[in-house]
């Protein structure tokens, strides 16, 4: 007998990794027939099912909100008593080992506000199936270890839906007698149902082609609304570069004759790697200088690459179950990060990636939602598309690549792809392939997959003049995380160098493996105490504390030959001053000003690097350095330091700002670097309080021929109070009110503004006629951005908390996935004073008390209150 577990909304079921069992039934083939219509779509599915092993369990086909209109077994219609529905799933007892199951269901895609399954967006019909959306389309074993060959027929009104796309290759098309048209696509590669996709709509195509390493021609298409075609060039370049890069760096060739990408306006995440038919949030496809910033351009390039790379790391080798999500996501993020680094600057890309990791993943690891890269349990899998799975997962692959070196890492990845091609694999399979292919023991390293939390490393350097040696003492610890009170020591690879003060050089970098709770390393040949450069390149995702003086940090900020370590020294210098100031100490700011000046005038440095290095740590990062976050004190201290930097170096900022003005727009690295530095100079100049600050910012806003400079000027103005601020916001709104992606920036800039009235403004913007809960990008632009604005969100009145909680409650009724992603900022109450903590908890409790709350929000809020 099948075990029929039911669940209820009040106590949603916990899914555990330990409970994994292979599927009872496999589905080698599926034939789908869609009669498409926004109000009434009928879906007929024919599944060939095969019993997997000797057992007598029912066939269970997952379903979510589906009503079977017909059920047939081997062509025979079943009576209603011959099947049952259990928690949405269709249960059919079967006697033989192989059968053909046919079902018919009906959906209304235009009413699907969750944007999971088949839904309507801007006149299109499209699908999103990862993780568990396919069960909202048809009855099927919706788990990634059931791989099937798909044949898909779509039929629709040719006037409204002239283009019909699905996975794989188009094989036939035609018109029906009733004036509708149809197309059939087949995908030769067996795939899990989360990779299924179709799109129907009135789309224009940017068509191109790519010749693969074995000489096959692949037809490439980027499908968008006609008016957006001119904005698809950058995505197409990125796609072709990604295809060539994966051949060159990993030996991976594309495997179908066509590769299509479709951009949609309403999308819960960034994009989706459906086999041969990637579907994208339009913000990661569309870019032109008028509306996209350099960051947007890089986002397009990175996400196009990410989804393309999934064709091997995710599709050809997929995941056995959702606990293995980082198998495809961590590896694919690592791949897209390295691709972007190769396309631009390695140094700057690493700094940007570490900034994201610290802002998102370190915070996650330090809070109630901390979980291992390979989690042990979940309630709603959509909540686990996290910075830990993605970004920390990528750091794990990066550490393995570092320990192995490029050749052995490639041998490991070759073995992984060869051994597991066509399979649903596990993180353990990946680690084993690295061990065997690369010839390394990763025994202790596996703990990185098991233990949540960020390791802390304390590094102490002792010099012995008599023996001319130095001893580096390293101690590691890891704070407890939910469900994991005690931690085992980790294997931490630390790239380390010791600098002679005279000559400003080191004798060579070493890779130190810290594997014990405490370990010491001795180095000879030092007549004088050297300066420690550690965790160079951010070789391990850990928090390092050292006893380096401000003088040592200033030395490294001027001389370290590892660009990340140089940046890091500069940041630490600033953090020390700011944290000291916040604690009321009279710390010396002059060293920071001097280091900034030296960096800015160094002719050997890349302007993009300079811009990164001289940027003050964010208010949130400063909060992370404190036992309890004091948002007001942090804001005041950071603001004051920014002002002083602005004032003391004012001529320099004016000079840079004037000198970096370009005559014409270019996307070259040099031009992007110049814009980045120019915008940083503007921030400093305006922060100085000079009387013409707002006017300079306004003229940059007004004269810019690109969004990078225009938006930066707007953001700088938005932080202050001036007539120029209001004027620029009005101009921006009127210019872009009909361009949703660009109007998002108008909402986002105001929600991010370090301005005392931000919280009230956000409340107002929530009632703005252009604000809507039905578009996730718009929601994120306002409430997502606001949740990341520490000073404004943590307004001591608690207004910020209430606004976000209200949004979560309202949005949960439409789109639980996106609602749940707004919860984490409220869950960080432990890090704040008692008054704020009580207000935050109060809002979490208010959300939890809502009747009919989704599993998604229930899980996040419930865990946040524990």
Cβ closest to Zn ion, residue 417 vs residue 733:
417
Q: 269 is in the binding site of which of Zn ion, ligand 0A1, none (Cβ under 5 to 8 A by kind)?
A: ligand 0A1
Q: 223 is in the binding site of which of ligand 0A1, Zn ion, none (Cβ under 5 to 8 A by kind)?
A: none
The answer to whether 410 and 250 are in contact (CB under 8 A) is yes
Cβ closest to ligand 0A1, residue 394 vs residue 478:
394
Q: 474 is in the binding site of which of ligand 0A1, Zn ion, none (Cβ under 5 to 8 A by kind)?
A: none
Q: Helix crossing, 740-752 with 758-765: angle to 10°?
A: 150
Question: Catalytic annotation on 307?
Answer: yes
Cβ closest to Zn ion, residue 282 vs residue 313:
313
Q: Which stretch binds Zn ion (CB under 5 A): 230-238, 256-264, 326-334, 421-429?
A: 326-334
The answer to whether 153 and 174 are in contact (CB under 8 A) is no
Give least dist CB 132 to ligand 0A1, A.
9
Contacts of 774 (CB under 8 A, 6+ apart): 113, 266, 814, 815
Q: Which stretch binds Zn ion (CB under 5 A): 206-214, 329-337, 345-353, 437-445?
A: 329-337
Cβ closest to ligand 0A1, residue 111 vs residue 516:
111
Q: 606 is in the binding site of which of Zn ion, ligand 0A1, none (Cβ under 5 to 8 A by kind)?
A: none
Contacts of 519 (CB under 8 A, 6+ apart): 473, 474
DSSP alpha helices (H): ranges in 688-814? 693-703, 707-718, 723-736, 740-752, 758-765, 776-779, 785-787, 790-793, 799-812
Q: Residues in the site for ligand 0A1, rule: CB under 6 A? A: 128, 130, 268-273, 306-307, 329, 385, 817
Q: Residue 147 is inside which H or E element, if any?
A: none
What would you measure as the largest C-alpha separation in the chain, in angstroms? 96
- Check residue 517 and report its DSSP letter: S
Give the total of residues touching Zn ion (CB under 5 A).
2
Q: 272 is in the binding site of which of Zn ion, ligand 0A1, none (Cβ under 5 to 8 A by kind)?
A: ligand 0A1
Question: How many C-beta atoms lie closer than 10 Å to residue 579's C-beta?
Answer: 17
Q: Which stretch binds Zn ion (CB under 5 A): 124-132, 222-230, 234-242, 325-333?
A: 325-333
Q: Cα–Cα–Cα angle for 603, 609, 614, nearest 5°?
A: 90
Cβ closest to ligand 0A1, residue 138 vs residue 318:
318
Give least dist CB 574 to ligand 0A1, A.
34
Give least dist CB 272 to ligand 0A1, A.
4
The answer to whether 207 and 217 are in contact (CB under 8 A) is no
Cβ closest to Zn ion, residue 307 vs residue 709:
307
Q: How far is CA 793 from CA 284, 776, 777, in A?
A: 27, 20, 19
- Check residue 175 and report its DSSP letter: E
Q: Which stretch binds Zn ion (CB under 5 A): 53-61, 318-326, 328-336, 811-819?
A: 328-336
Cβ closest to Zn ion, residue 45 vs residue 304:
304
Residue from 130, 155, 307, 724 carrying the catalytic annotation? 307
The answer to whether 287 and 296 are in contact (CB under 8 A) is yes
Q: 271 is in the binding site of which of Zn ion, ligand 0A1, none (Cβ under 5 to 8 A by kind)?
A: ligand 0A1
CA dist., res. 741 & res. 746, Å (int) = 9
CA dist., res. 574 & res. 591, Å (int) = 9
Question: How many C-beta atoms lie closer than 10 Å to residue 4's C-beta?
Answer: 12
Q: Which stretch binds Zn ion (CB under 5 A): 261-269, 324-332, 346-354, 471-479?
A: 324-332
Give least dist CB 112 to Zn ion, A.
23
Cβ closest to ligand 0A1, residue 333 vs residue 684:
333
Q: 526 is in the binding site of which of Zn ion, ligand 0A1, none (Cβ under 5 to 8 A by kind)?
A: none
- Check residue 694 and report its DSSP letter: H
Exposure of 313 in the CB half-sphere (CA atoms within 13 A): 28
Number of helices followed by number of strands (H, E) in the chain: 30, 31
Q: 130 is in the binding site of which of ligand 0A1, Zn ion, none (Cβ under 5 to 8 A by kind)?
A: ligand 0A1
Q: 843 is in the binding site of which of ligand 0A1, Zn ion, none (Cβ under 5 to 8 A by kind)?
A: none
Give least dist CB 381 to ligand 0A1, A.
9
CA dist., res. 232 & res. 758, Å (int) = 34
Q: Residue 634 is inside which H or E element, if any?
A: helix 631-648
The answer to whether 144 and 319 are in contact (CB under 8 A) is yes
Give least dist CB 232 to ligand 0A1, A.
19
Give least dist CB 313 to Zn ion, A.
9
Cβ closest to ligand 0A1, residue 270 vs residue 842:
270
Rg (Cα) of the chain, in Å, rounded? 28
Give least dist CB 332 to Zn ion, A.
5
Give least dist CB 314 to Zn ion, A.
7
Q: Which stretch binds Zn ion (CB under 5 A): 322-330, 483-491, 573-581, 756-764?
A: 322-330
Q: Helix crossing, 740-752 with 723-736: angle to 10°?
A: 160
Q: Which residues bind Zn ion (CB under 5 A)?
A: 329, 332
Catalytic residue numbers read: 307
């Amino acid at each position: 007998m099948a075990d029929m577990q039911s669940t209820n909304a009040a106590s949603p079921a916990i899914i555990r990794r330990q409970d994994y069992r292979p599927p009872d039934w496999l589905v080698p083939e599926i034939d789908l027939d869609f009669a498409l219509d926004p109000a009434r779509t009928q879906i007929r599915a024919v599944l060939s099912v095969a019993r997997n092993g000797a057992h007598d369990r029912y066939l269970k086909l997952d379903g979510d909100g589906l009503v079977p209109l017909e059920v047939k077994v081997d062509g025979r219609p079943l009576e209603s008593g011959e099947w049952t529905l259990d928690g949405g799933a269709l249960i059919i007892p079967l006697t033989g080992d192989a059968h053909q199951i046919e079902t018919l269901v009906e959906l209304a895609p235009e009413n699907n506000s969750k944007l999971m399954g088949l839904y309507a967006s801007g006149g299109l019909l499209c699908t999103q199936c990862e993780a568990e959306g396919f069960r909202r389309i048809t009855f099927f074993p919706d788990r990634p270890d059931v791989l099937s060959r798909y044949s898909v027929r779509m039929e629709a009104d040719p006037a409204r839906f002239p283009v019909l796309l699905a996975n794989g290759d188009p094989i036939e098309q035609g018109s029906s007698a009733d004036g509708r048209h149809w197309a059939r696509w087949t995908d030769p590669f067996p795939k899990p149902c989360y990779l299924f996709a179709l799109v129907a709509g009135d789309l224009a195509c940017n068509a191109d082609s790519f010749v693969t390493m074995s000489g096959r021609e692949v037809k490439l298409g980027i499908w968008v609304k006609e008016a957006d075609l001119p904005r698809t060039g950058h995505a197409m370049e990125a796609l072709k570069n990604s295809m060539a890069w994966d051949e060159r760096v990993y030996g991976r060739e594309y495997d179908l004759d066509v590769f299509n990408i479709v951009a949609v306006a309403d999308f819960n995440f960034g994009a989706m790697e459906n086999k041969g038919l990637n579907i994208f949030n339009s913000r990661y496809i569309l870019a032109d200088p008028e509306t996209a910033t350099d960051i947007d351009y890089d986002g397009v390039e990175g996400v196009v690459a990410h989804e393309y790379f999934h064709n091997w790391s995710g599709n050809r080798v997929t995941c056995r179950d959702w606990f293995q999500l980082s198998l495809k996501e961590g590896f694919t993020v690592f791949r897209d990060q390295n691709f972007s680094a190769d396309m631009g600057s390695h140094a700057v890309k690493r700094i940007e990636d570490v900034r994201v990791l610290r802002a998102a993943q370190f915070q996650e690891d330090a809070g109630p939602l901390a979980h291992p890269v390979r989690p042990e349990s979940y309630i709603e899998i959509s909540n686990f598309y996290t910075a830990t799975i993605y970004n920390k997962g990528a750091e794990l692959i990066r550490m393995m690549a570092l320990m192995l070196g490029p050749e052995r890492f490639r041998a490991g990845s070759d073995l992984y792809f060869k051994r597991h091609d066509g399979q649903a694999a596990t993180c353990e399979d990946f680690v084993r392939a690295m061990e065997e292919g690369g010839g390394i023991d990763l025994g202790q390293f596996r703990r990185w997959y098991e233990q949540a939390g960020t390791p802390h490393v304390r590094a102490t350097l002792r010099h012995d003049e008599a023996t001319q040696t130095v001893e580096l003492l390293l101690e590691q610890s890891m704070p407890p995380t939910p469900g994991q009170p005690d931690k085992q020591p980790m294997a931490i690879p630390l790239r380390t160098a010791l600098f002679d003060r005279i000559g400003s050089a080191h004798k060579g970098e070493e890779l130190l493996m810290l594997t014990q709770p405490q370990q010491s390393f001795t180095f000879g040949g030092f007549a004088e105490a050297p300066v420690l450069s550690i965790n160079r390149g951010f070789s391990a995702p850990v928090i390092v504390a050292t006893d380096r003086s401000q003088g040592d940090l200033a030395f490294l900020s001027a001389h370290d030959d590892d660009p990340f370590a140089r940046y890091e020294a500069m940041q630490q210098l600033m953090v020390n001053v700011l944290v000291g100031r916040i604690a009321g100490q009279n710390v010396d700011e002059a060293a920071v000003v001097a280091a900034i000046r030296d960096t800015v005038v160094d002719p050997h440095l890349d302007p993009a690097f300079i811009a990164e290095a001289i940027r003050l740590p964010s208010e949130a990062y400063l909060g992370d350095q404190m036992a309890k976050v004091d948002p007001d004190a942090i804001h005041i201290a950071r603001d004051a330091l920014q002002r002083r930097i602005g004032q003391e170096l004012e001529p320099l900022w004016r000079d840079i700002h004037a000198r970096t003005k370009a005559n014409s727009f270019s996307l070259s690295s040099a031009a992007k670097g110049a814009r980045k530095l120019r915008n940083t100079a503007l921030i400093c100049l305006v922060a100085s309080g000079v009387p013409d600050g707002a006017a300079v910012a306004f003229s940059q806003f007004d004269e810019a021929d690109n969004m990078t400079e225009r938006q930066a000027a707007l953001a700088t103005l938005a932080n202050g109070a001036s007539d120029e601020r209001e004027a620029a916001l009005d101009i921006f709104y009127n210019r872009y009110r009909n361009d949703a992606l660009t109007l998002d920036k108008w909402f986002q800039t105001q929600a991010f503004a370090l301005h005392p009235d931000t919280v009230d403004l956000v409340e107002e913007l929530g009632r703005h006629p252009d604000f809507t809960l039905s578009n996730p990008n718009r929601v994120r632009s306002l409430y997502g951005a606001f949740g990341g604005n520490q000073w404004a969100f943590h307004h001591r009145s608690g207004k910020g908390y209430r606004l976000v909680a209200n949004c979560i409650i309202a949005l949960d009724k439409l789109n639980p996935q996106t609602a749940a992603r707004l919860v984490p900022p409220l869950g960080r109450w432990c890090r704040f004073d008692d008054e704020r903590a009580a207000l935050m908890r109060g809002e979490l409790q208010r959300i939890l008390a809502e009747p009919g709350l989704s599993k998604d929000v229930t899980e996040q809020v419930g865990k946040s209150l524990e």
